[in-house]
Amino acid sequence: MMQCWKGFYNCWFSKKKAFANKIYRITGMRPRELALYELAFRHSSLVTDSRCSAQECNERLEFLGDSILSAAVSEFLFKKYPSKNEGFLTEMRSKIVNRARLNELGFKLGLDAILRYNKKLGSFNRSICGNALEALIGAIYLDLGYRAAQYFIIHKMINIYLNLDELETQNHNYKSQLMEFAQKHKIEPIIYEVVEETFAGNIKEFTVACIIQDKVMGLGKDTKKKVAEQKASEMALLKLCS
Amino acid sequence: MMQCWKGFYNCWFSKKKAFANKIYRITGMRPRELALYELAFRHSSLVTDSRCSAQECNERLEFLGDSILSAAVSEFLFKKYPSKNEGFLTEMRSKIVNRARLNELGFKLGLDAILRYNKKLGSFNRSICGNALEALIGAIYLDLGYRAAQYFIIHKMINIYLNLDELETQNHNYKSQLMEFAQKHKIEPIIYEVVEETFAGNIKEFTVACIIQDKVMGLGKDTKKKVAEQKASEMALLKLCS
């Protein structure tokens, strides 16, 4: 009996140790409260009883991690670009923390190998990985604090996987991306329509709708029609790809 | 000459001291780097040379403060409601940090009395106050750190001015608010139209457009048509009131 318990304990202990090592390899920091990280990698598809889903999957940690990520990236950009205005900083932040980028980073960090989800409930959705990355940030924050989460974001994500100079000059041409997507999936025509013109002081602002096959798929507002079209295309792309 | 310099110095010093006292009364904390707070209350309408606008007005601090606010509120809600799911937390956060609420809190904190803006450039816009509140949070964060910003947000904003029990049960009925607004300003009719139906796994999602006087003013997506209509109404209200 004693032998049996010892075997069970050893097995359990070595599993925990292996998991802690994986977290260390990803984050560069030794986890204290391992249960937080286990939760971060537990997708909601594993929850059977919806009444207690809140504590049993990573969605709450994802909620927290999402805003910690945004705060850390904002501070990083604020300090890196002391002479750039708020518009530039906002654009750079959205280039770093958009859904597609987080999914990609989640894969690059190898989170898909640790993630636990119900494989019976359909194919693997890429966004599960991006969500788990946010949940991991939430777990690091709760376990080791704001500076540790910031360290992970800057030194294990941004500095390793992102080329900021490239991002800076990269023009997010959502309109052409959308055009490409629509042609590929045969969902044309795409029409852009100015649905509103407003004045903020002396400055005119346009609200442009992106209409695909007679359905409004995106809205964008800006002082320049072209930028409003880009924003509307971004929203439409997000909808089509989500 | 000496007397003149002394007079100038005393005047400058007492002005600084008075400003530091005002900040102390608002935040409950003694500022270290006063220039940060001065910047937080300097609106972009005062900037004459657009080339150096980034360092001369509060927009960059607003960018930073906005995300620090969101992170602090997220953590506060995450800990206050340990059994609530991500949907509830997201809704509560948006009830706390929405534009109208921030403008209102900015006024309640008396920020309008410290704010500096160009009075020649039209009437006072309420959102200037909400933006200055975000910039103030950015200044506190840079000056005194994350915990100080968190202290201000929880103890000087949430605990004093918000009734969370009320917020929790409060149903954001944006649809009826919009209806009321539209009747008052004679901008009817309001039409809700399902513009898209998609499937996420087995779950159907509706995208509803809120169309006012033939213009798409808002879009909302949810598994329930009624909730999607609320979301579309919220977006429309935001546009109409901004």
DSSP-assigned beta bridge partners for residue A204? A199
Q: How far apart are CA A151 and CA A157, in angstroms?
A: 9
Residue A204 has pLDDT above 60, yes or no: yes
pLDDT digits (tens, 9 = 90+) for B41-77: 998 877 776 555 667 889 999 999 999 999 999 999 9
A181 band by pLDDT with thresholds 50, 70 and 90 = confident
Check: complex ipTM more than 0.90: no
For residues B28 and B156, the answer to whether their CB atoms sit within 8 Å is yes
Using CA atoms, how far apart are residues A72 and A86, in angstroms rounded to an integer? 16
Decide if domain B174-241 falls under CATH 3.40.50.720: no
Q: What is the CATH number of domain A2-169?
A: 1.10.1520.10
Lowest mean pLDDT among A61-75, A171-185, B62-76, B149-163: A171-185
Per CB distance under 8 Å, which residues of B are interface residues toward A? 53-55, 59-60, 62-64, 66-68, 70-71, 73-75, 78, 82-86, 89-90, 121-122, 141, 146, 195-196, 198, 200-201, 207, 209, 215-219, 221, 235, 239
**Looking at residue A89, what is its pLDDT?**
92
Q: Does the pLDDT of residue B3 top 80, yes or no?
A: no
- The answer to whether the beta carbons of residues A217 and A210 sit under 8 Å apart is yes
Q: Do A53 and B207 touch (CB under 8 A)?
A: no
* Candidates A59, A134, A229, A234; catalytic one: A134
Residue found under tokens 């103890």:
B155
Question: pLDDT of A111-138, one tens digit each?
Answer: 999 998 877 766 567 788 999 999 999 9
The owner of tokens 């969500």 is A131
Q: Residue B157 pLDDT > 80, yes or no? A: yes
- Answer whether B2-169 and B174-241 agree in fold: no
Buried b (16+ CB within 10 A) or exposed e, A13-42: eeeeeebeebbeebbebebeeeebbbbbbb
- pLDDT reported for residue A116: 86
The answer to whether B67 contacts A86, with C-beta atoms less than 8 Å apart, is no
Cβ distance of B70 and A67 shorter than 8 Å: yes
- The end-to-end CA distance of chain A, in Å, is 52
- Greater confidence, A15 or B160? B160
- Among A68, A78, A201, the residue with its CB nearest the CB of B64 is A78
- Quick check: A129 and A111 in contact, CB under 8 A? yes
> Where do the domains of chain B lie?
2-169, 174-241
Write down the catalytic residue from B38, B62, B66, B205: B66
pLDDT over 80 (residue B4): no
The one-letter code for the residue type at B158 is I
Q: Which of B33, B86, B112, B134 is catalytic?
A: B134
Question: Quick check: A85 and B207 CB within 8 A?
Answer: no
Q: Determine whether A66 is an active site residue.
A: yes
Q: What is the pLDDT of residue B133?
A: 96
Residue from A110, A198, A87 nearest B60 by CA: A87
- Predicted TM-score (pTM) of this structure: 0.73
- Residues from chain A that touch B195, judged by Cβ atoms under 8 A, are 215-217
Q: What pLDDT was estimated at residue A29?
A: 96
Q: Considering only CB atoms, which chain A residues are within 8 Å of B90? A: 63
Question: What's the whole-number mean pLDDT along residues B143-155?
Answer: 97
* Average pLDDT of span A195-214: 79
HEC-encoded secondary structure of chain B: CHHHHHHHHHHHHHHHHHHHHHHHHHHCCCCCCHHHHHHHCECHHHCCCHHHHHHHCCHHHHHHHHHHHHHHHHHHHHHHCCCCCHHHHHHHHHHHHCHHHHHHHHHHCCHHHCCECCCCCCCCCHHHHHHHHHHHHHHHHHHHCHHHHHHHHHHHHHHHHCCHHHHHHCCCCHHHHHHHHHHHCCCCCEEEEEEEEEEECCEEEEEEEEEECCEEEEEEEECCHHHHHHHHHHHHHHHHHC
Task: Decide if A233 contacts A216 (C-beta within 8 A).
Answer: no
Position A51 pLDDT exceeds 60: no
Q: What are phi and psi of B30, to 5 degrees?
A: -75, 125
* pLDDT greater than 60 at residue A37: yes
Check pLDDT > 70 for residue A52.
no
Instruction: Copy the structure tokens of residue A181.
Output: 């997507």
Q: What is the pLDDT of residue B82?
A: 94
Top-confidence range, A70-79, A84-93, A99-108, B106-115: A70-79
Decide if B201 and A122 are in contact by the 8 Å CB cutoff.
Answer: yes
Residue type, A91: E
Query: In Å, how far are A82, A84, A117, A176 from B54, measured between CA atoms?
Result: 8, 6, 46, 31
Average pLDDT of the segment spanning B132-155:
97
